[in-house]
Amino acid sequence: MKQLTDQKVNDYLTHLGKFGHLENGGVTRLVYDDDWVAAMAFVLDDARRRGFKTAIDSYGNGFMSFPGKKSQQIVAAGSHLDTVNQAGLYDGAYGVAAAILAMNELVDQYGQPNQTMTSVAFSEEEGSRFPTSFSGSKHYAGVQETDPTLRDKQGITFSQARKLAVSQLADRFPIVEQPLPSEFFEVHIEQGPVLEEKGLPIGIVSAICEQKRFTVTVHGQANHAGTTPQHLRKDALKAAVRLIERLDEQAQKIGEPLVFTVGELTVAPGSANVIPGTVTFSVDVRHPEQAVVDRFENFLRAQAVVAPLVRVDVDRWMDSRPAVMDSRLVHQFEQLVTQKGLNYLKLPSGAGHDTQIMNLKVPTAMLFVPSKNGISHSPAEYTAPADLRAGIDVLKAQLYQECYE
Amino acid sequence: MKQLTDQKVNDYLTHLGKFGHLENGGVTRLVYDDDWVAAMAFVLDDARRRGFKTAIDSYGNGFMSFPGKKSQQIVAAGSHLDTVNQAGLYDGAYGVAAAILAMNELVDQYGQPNQTMTSVAFSEEEGSRFPTSFSGSKHYAGVQETDPTLRDKQGITFSQARKLAVSQLADRFPIVEQPLPSEFFEVHIEQGPVLEEKGLPIGIVSAICEQKRFTVTVHGQANHAGTTPQHLRKDALKAAVRLIERLDEQAQKIGEPLVFTVGELTVAPGSANVIPGTVTFSVDVRHPEQAVVDRFENFLRAQAVVAPLVRVDVDRWMDSRPAVMDSRLVHQFEQLVTQKGLNYLKLPSGAGHDTQIMNLKVPTAMLFVPSKNGISHSPAEYTAPADLRAGIDVLKAQLYQECYE
């Protein structure tokens, strides 16, 4: 019986993964492309066959509902249907599948819910086609409309792509702007190694991290690497190296769950025999508490000022506030997981998710399931069937509490 | 009178700088190009008018001689006529001008020398057209012939370019392969800031530095910057930063005149939100003593082995032996400078020069004059006329000792 059940979510994800399938086993399904339209049509058609009422909104977000007996209040769950380039089968897709399968099973077992249950397949979260992200949840939550003039690499505007894709779905599904739910749930692969390392099947997200990104530019002086004595150098790279070391020491002092990454670094002029004149590097820092990230920023700016011999510019270009999950819903998740005899970890999410947008308007809670080797955004993305099932079971129990009791 | 004399070398360099002149005041004169042919013709013609016997060899090296009364022994001095892209007026050209003017003045003042005095204008030293350098002095010294199949960016082979250029000079100047001199002198701009910083008009080169270059590759593991906790990272950049810090500490411990430069550094995959998987950087280390550079290399290799969590590959792709100047000639330079009431610094050359090739076969000595702000390989290259003159005067005194006494 367990075996059969496990197969269900696998089959769903394998089928969904055919839309945008790559020869290497991965998936590329960018918002509003042909594969995306086919995937959204599949998800909605399949849900309609399962008894859901289906609709899309003007952004192509997919909505699949079981209307409640008692109230207009909507309990929603879901994730996004788009992928990064060269993605795996799980990121986003699993959260859509989990919501649909959980609600489908609840109605099969317990009949019509008291509250309306809605599965949501968001149009876009990854930012992999247009230079924007979370456009689907931002529209649904009424947080922000996307600039219609944004262009993809082919020069197609967001507006053109959106209208074409929505028109292709509109003959089969009504276009209806949706009211906000009263609460929102998302299950997602962890995309990190923590649950696997600890051997735990479930993570309960405490908060989605505050995240800041900076571009740091160190201005030194380019010079001949052979003829300029050490004491007369203004070596931008050595100054950058020292600064990064200080930042890393600070990161270690603060300790986990803070993460600090320098992912980009370029050297100019960039010749083996020329002392670097300018070094530019990125700083990405995340922590569930805004105050901690603010302190790290202050440290960075203070270090920049005192760097000897060079001038350091610090430009902050991303500052996303932390999204703290709803304490009641989190506590309920903890109880439900424990009742199922499962162990769990409460942990912050270092990655961004649609939930952080929904969290701006409604109470939210979020589950993680383990990612093999912590890998995501890769065809090698994998979560064991039993873990996929556990995530659905816990979501199902939560939805039962919220929609039936 | 001093004023008039100073003007002479300036006029020479200004005139020579017309061949390959750029609108920004700089010069680009690549070996065997039209400007190079015109410059070599100018230098030889001018020397012939001054009474030198002129010839070229099959590489287009220019030779201008005053035959000696007493012996076949040749005392040679000179430098190279080619430039880097966007060069100034002084690098190489000054050494050619200094040799010609010094010998010209000696013959004017003292008549025919006892030993043959030869000014040499080397065809190429900079490696700015073909992927090779020192091809002129290597041929003259009989150290190495240049691969004739090497191509420039336009696909022209070294052999094609050489033959065309030499044929354009051959109708005016005999092609004669030249015998080795008994000793060789070069005066050159310092290309560094040391003499200017110390307020000294003359540098006497002790040795041209041992120089090694490496490519260091740090293999870590790329991962999501938000979801991978610090303790589970194999961050190639942070490992590289630590390694560079250790190397810099070691360089400071050894102290000057060692110079250590990381001029290139690249990060892969190179996204702000991805932990670096691979970092590649260059190491350039120079010191007049080979043993010191060898010790630095051993330190680098030992640090590479013990770097935690990552694998570090060290690839040495340049190892140029130090060229120690002849002690008698250096000592004589020191005495002559002092006799002229000038102060000087004995210093190693961190840059390479034709002298290091000649040094493989014959005793050599070399003088530096100050470079304003230490700048070279730039249109902003500048040395004050009085300093240019001082270099010529000291060379002239040395040539007098070696060719007249």
Pick the residue with more confidence: A35 or B1?
A: A35
Contact criterion met (CB < 8 Å) for B244 and A264: no
pLDDT, mean over chain B = 96
Q: Does B127 touch chain A (CB under 8 A)?
A: no
Query: Nearest residue on chain B to A371, judged by CA atoms?
Result: B227
pLDDT category, A5, cuts 50, 70, 90?
Answer: low
Query: CB-based contacts of B186: which residues, under 8 Å, 6+ apart?
Result: B77, B78, B79, B95, B353, B354, B355, B358, B364, B366, B367
CB A262, CB A293: distance < 8 Å: no
pLDDT at B333: 98
pLDDT category, A6, cuts 50, 70, 90?
Answer: confident
Q: Does A319 touch chain B (CB under 8 A)?
A: no
Q: Which residues of B touch A264 (CB under 8 A)?
A: 267, 270-272
Query: Is the pLDDT assigned to residue B292 strictly greater than 60?
Result: yes
Query: Is the pLDDT assigned to residue A71 strictly greater than 80?
Result: no
Closest partner residue to B265 (CB to CB) among A242, A265, A275 is A265
Q: What is the mean pLDDT of residues B243-258?
A: 97
Q: Which residues of A touch B232 (CB under 8 A)?
A: 193-194, 197, 374
Closest partner residue to A227 (CB to CB) among B256, B266, B350 is B350
Contact criterion met (CB < 8 Å) for B227 and A190: yes
pLDDT at B7: 86
Closest partner residue to B261 (CB to CB) among A191, A275, A284 is A275
Query: Is the pLDDT assigned to residue A1 strictly greater than 50?
Result: no
What are A55's strand-pairing partners?
A63
Query: 275-304 in B: which are within 8 Å (CB) of A?
Result: 275-276, 282, 284, 286
Q: Where in chain A is the domain with CATH 3.30.70.360?
A: 211-320
Query: 5-34 in A: which are within 8 Å (CB) of B?
Result: none
CA angle B214, A267, B238 (to 5 degrees): 70
Query: Is the pLDDT assigned to residue A230 strictly greater than 90?
Result: yes
User: Which strand (E) or helix (H) includes residue A314?
Assistant: strand A311-320
A116-122 and A62-66 beta bridge pairing? antiparallel
CB B42, CB B16: distance < 8 Å: yes
DSSP string, A168-180: HHHTTS-B-PPPP
Contact criterion met (CB < 8 Å) for A226 and B262: no
Contact criterion met (CB < 8 Å) for A284 and B273: yes
Distance CA A71, CA A65 (A): 13
CA separation (Å) from A223 to A273, A274, B90, B164? 9, 6, 17, 36
Contact criterion met (CB < 8 Å) for B230 and A251: yes
Q: What is the mean pLDDT of residues B325-353?
A: 97
Burial B42-79 (b: 16+ CB within 10 A, else e): bbbebbeebebebbbbebbbbbbbbebeeeeebbbbbb
CB A184, CB A76: distance < 8 Å: yes
Q: Which CATH number fits domain A2-208+322-403: 3.40.630.10, 3.30.710.10, 3.40.50.1220, 3.30.200.20?
A: 3.40.630.10
pLDDT at B6: 74
Q: What is the mean pLDDT of residues B352-372?
A: 97
Q: Which residues of A touch B194 (CB under 8 A)?
A: 227, 229, 232
What are B234's strand-pairing partners?
B221
pLDDT digits (tens, 9 = 90+) for B155-195: 999 999 999 999 999 999 999 999 999 999 999 999 999 99
Distance CA A149, CA A392 (A): 38
Distance CA A330, CA A205 (A): 8
Q: What is the mean pLDDT of residues A194-218?
A: 97
> What tokens appear for B182 in the block?
């008994």
Measured between CA atoms, how close is A349 to chain B, in angstroms?
7
Query: Is the pLDDT assigned to residue A177 strictly greater than 50?
Result: yes
Query: CB-based contacts of B72: which residues, under 8 Å, 6+ apart?
Result: B116, B179
Q: Does A213 touch chain B (CB under 8 A)?
A: yes
User: Which strand (E) or helix (H) includes residue B94?
Assistant: helix B93-110
Closest partner residue to A267 (CB to CB) among B197, B264, B377 is B264
Contact criterion met (CB < 8 Å) for B263 and A274: yes
Contact criterion met (CB < 8 Å) for B256 and A349: no
Closest partner residue to B244 (CB to CB) among A241, A350, A351 is A241
Q: Does B227 touch chain A (CB under 8 A)?
A: yes
Measured between CA atoms, how close is B295 to chain A, in angstroms?
18
Q: Where in chain A is the domain with CATH 3.40.630.10?
A: 2-208+322-403
pLDDT digits (tens, 9 = 90+) for B184-229: 999 999 999 999 999 999 999 999 999 999 999 999 999 899 999 9
Distance CA A234, CA A230 (A): 9
Measured between CA atoms, how close is B82 to chain A, in angstroms?
19
Q: Given CA atoms B85, B86, B91, B93 in this order, what sign does their dihedral have? A: positive
Pick the residue with more confidence: B223 or A137?
A: A137
Q: What is the mean pLDDT of residues B129-144?
A: 95
Q: What is the mean pLDDT of residues A108-132?
A: 96
Measured between CA atoms, how close is A369 to chain B, in angstroms?
13
Q: Does B238 touch chain A (CB under 8 A)?
A: yes
Query: Nearest residue on chain A to B277, judged by CA atoms?
Result: A263
* Architecture of the domain spanning B211-320: 2-Layer Sandwich (3.30)
Contact criterion met (CB < 8 Å) for B193 and A229: yes
Determine the residue among A224, A252, A271, A383 to mutate to test chain B binding: the one whose Cβ has the most chain B Cβ atoms within 10 Å: A224
pLDDT, mean over chain A = 96
Query: Nearest residue on chain A to B318, judged by CA atoms?
Result: A272
Closest partner residue to B272 (CB to CB) among A213, A227, A238 is A213
Contact criterion met (CB < 8 Å) for B227 and A197: no
How many CB pairs below 8 Å do chains A and B form together?
191
Q: What is the mean pLDDT of residues B77-93?
A: 96
Contact criterion met (CB < 8 Å) for B351 and A224: yes
Q: Does B373 touch chain A (CB under 8 A)?
A: no
Burial B84-102 (b: 16+ CB within 10 A, else e): beebbbbbbbbbbbbbbbb
> What tokens appear for B205 in the block?
């080169």
Q: Does A253 touch chain B (CB under 8 A)?
A: no
Q: Does B378 touch chain A (CB under 8 A)?
A: no
Measured between CA atoms, how close is B245 to chain A, in angstroms?
7
Closest partner residue to A272 (CB to CB) among B213, B227, B273 is B213
Contact criterion met (CB < 8 Å) for B272 and A257: no
Q: Does A353 touch chain B (CB under 8 A)?
A: no
pLDDT at A372: 96
CA angle A147, A174, A66 (to 5 degrees): 110
pLDDT category, A239, cuts 50, 70, 90?
Answer: very high
Query: Is the pLDDT assigned to residue A340 strictly greater than 90?
Result: yes
Query: Is the pLDDT assigned to residue A3 strictly greater than 60?
Result: no
Query: 46-105 in B: which are within 8 Å (CB) of A?
Result: none
Q: What is the mean pLDDT of residues B252-263?
A: 97
pLDDT digits (tens, 9 = 90+) for A314-338: 999 999 889 999 999 999 999 999 9
pLDDT at B5: 62
CA atoms within 13 A on the CB side of B304: 20
Q: Which residues of A touch B211 (CB under 8 A)?
A: 226
Distance CA A18, CA B315 (A): 45
Distance CA B287, CA B183 (A): 24
Measured between CA atoms, how close is A234 to chain B, in angstroms?
11
Distance CA B325, CA B337 (A): 17
Is residue B405 helix, strand or coil?
coil
Q: What is the mean pLDDT of residues A49-72?
A: 96
Contact criterion met (CB < 8 Å) for B237 and A244: yes
First to last CA, chain B: 27
Q: Does B271 touch chain A (CB under 8 A)?
A: yes
Q: Does B380 touch chain A (CB under 8 A)?
A: no
Q: Which residues of A touch B248 (CB under 8 A)?
A: 238, 241
pLDDT at B1: 42
Q: Does B226 touch chain A (CB under 8 A)?
A: yes
H helices of B258-322, in order, are 290-306
Closest partner residue to B248 (CB to CB) among A228, A238, A257 is A238
As a residue count, chain B comes to 405
Q: Does B350 touch chain A (CB under 8 A)?
A: yes
